[in-house]
Amino acid sequence: MPINQKMKLVENILDLNTLEQKPTRNGFGEGLVFAADENRNVVGLCADLTESTRMELFRNKYPERFIEMGVAEQNLASVASGLSAVGKIPYITSYAMFSPGRNWEQIRTTVCYNNQNVKIIGSHAGVSVGPDGATHQAIEDIAIMRPIANMTVFAPCDVHEGKKAAVAVSKVYGPAYIRYTREKTPVLTTEATPFEIGRAYAFWLEPDGKKPDVAIIACGPLVHNAILAAAELEKEGIGVRVINNPSIKPMDEETLIGAAKDAGAVVTVEEHQIQGGMGSAVAEVLARNCPVPVEFIGVQNRFGESGNPNELIEAFGMGVSHIVDAVRTVLRRKKGL
């Protein structure tokens, strides 16, 4: 089995019947408390969604370091910028549609233009928010955050990586955005799985002694769908390398370019609009360094809608079968067909 054991992933990664599932936002709550335990300057601000974003864990342990801002996302960012200016490390939370969606200008001007040490946590990202519908499904947040100077952007694949990302940004000065999901999703990593800012990781490898036919580069919980797709393709004799790419900015260009050179074809997978998202960032890197055929799995220029989270992933073309089909398409392009 080509699971990369060096990554210390769970052994039952292909078994949805036994695989543990937790929301990635739980990792944020745990990570924020851990970061606060380590550094007394960590503070938390929330826009009236403390329980939903999981900041309640921090509020309960450190009430004197918590500020409830109410439904005032612009103030959320501006006050956090001021706290950073006097040496604090503010984490701000809301649904991603509201922060960074509603307060983008304050994030750009008061946080990033001044290069303040504010950590923006966008919860309930993607269509898997489910029945809340299009108005609450942030599928453009990577695209609006990635171009801002000084901003870093992350999309953890599961609860453990979500915790590590929340802790990691506390140790590096500067603005950061981390997107988290609402729904329970597969827990494929462990506490021992590596995570570093600016690094991508091969979670699934091609057979020994062979180069991959295709590289699938994914972020967020859809990394698991990419692995399931790789397992299906392996049965057909197609060698796949699956890269978990949680650090969207800065991006691990060396790993991604190496995978593209080895495979000669790439499929990107994300729960986000394909325009301006993680896949676009990958394409920019490859266009400069290693142009190869690329197919993009994500939301295809439409708004979200209400529904069951798993059904929406399928309806929006981000299921395992869609990734398999995208691989077949990019392989035909690779062969010039």
Give the pLDDT mean for 135-153: 98
236-241-244 Cα angle (round to 5): 135
Of 38, 56, 68, 73, which one is the catalytic site residue? 73
Tokens describing residue 244? 């978990």
Give the pLDDT mean for 144-171: 98
Give the pLDDT mean for 27-35: 98
Is residue 80 pLDDT above 60, yes or no? yes
Give the pLDDT mean for 101-112: 98
Q: What is the pLDDT of residue 209?
A: 81
- Catalytic annotation present for 254: no
Q: What is the pLDDT of residue 187?
A: 98
Q: What is the pLDDT of residue 281?
A: 98
CA dist 317 → 46, 223, 271, 302 (Å):
33, 15, 10, 12
Q: Where are the beta strands (DSSP E) in the chain?
A: 21-23, 42-46, 66-68, 89-95, 119-123, 152-154, 176-179, 184-186, 201-204, 214-218, 240-244, 247-249, 266-273, 294-299
Q: What is the pLDDT of residue 208?
A: 87
| Rounded CA separation 98/326 (Å) | 32
For residues 239 and 213, is the Cβ–Cβ distance under 8 A? Answer: yes
Residue range 190-204, pLDDT digits in tens:
999 999 999 999 999
Q: What is the pLDDT of residue 337?
A: 72
The conformational region for residue 240 under phi > 0 = left, psi -120 to 50 = alpha, else beta, is: beta
Arch. (CATH architecture) of 21-186 = 3-Layer(aba) Sandwich (3.40)
Going by DSSP bridges, is the β-strand pair 201-204/240-244 parallel, antiparallel, or unpaired? antiparallel
> What is the location of CATH 3.40.50.970 in the chain?
21-186
Please spell the DSSP secondary structure of 50-114, one letter per residue. Answer: HHHHTTHHHHHH-GGGEEE--S-HHHHHHHHHHHHHTT-EEEEEEETTTTTTTSHHHIIIIIITT
Arch. (CATH architecture) of 5-19+195-334 = 3-Layer(aba) Sandwich (3.40)
DSSP 8: -
94 has which bridge partners? Answer: 122
Residue range 167-221, pLDDT digits in tens:
999 999 999 999 999 999 999 999 999 999 999 999 999 998 899 999 999 999 9
Is residue 1 pLDDT above 70, yes or no? no
Q: Tell me the average pLDDT of the chain.
A: 97
Residue range 12-24, pLDDT digits in tens:
999 999 999 999 9
Residue 258 identity (one-letter amino acid): G
> What is the location of CATH 3.40.50.920 in the chain?
5-19+195-334
Give the pLDDT mean for 301-324: 97
Q: What is the pLDDT of residue 36?
A: 98
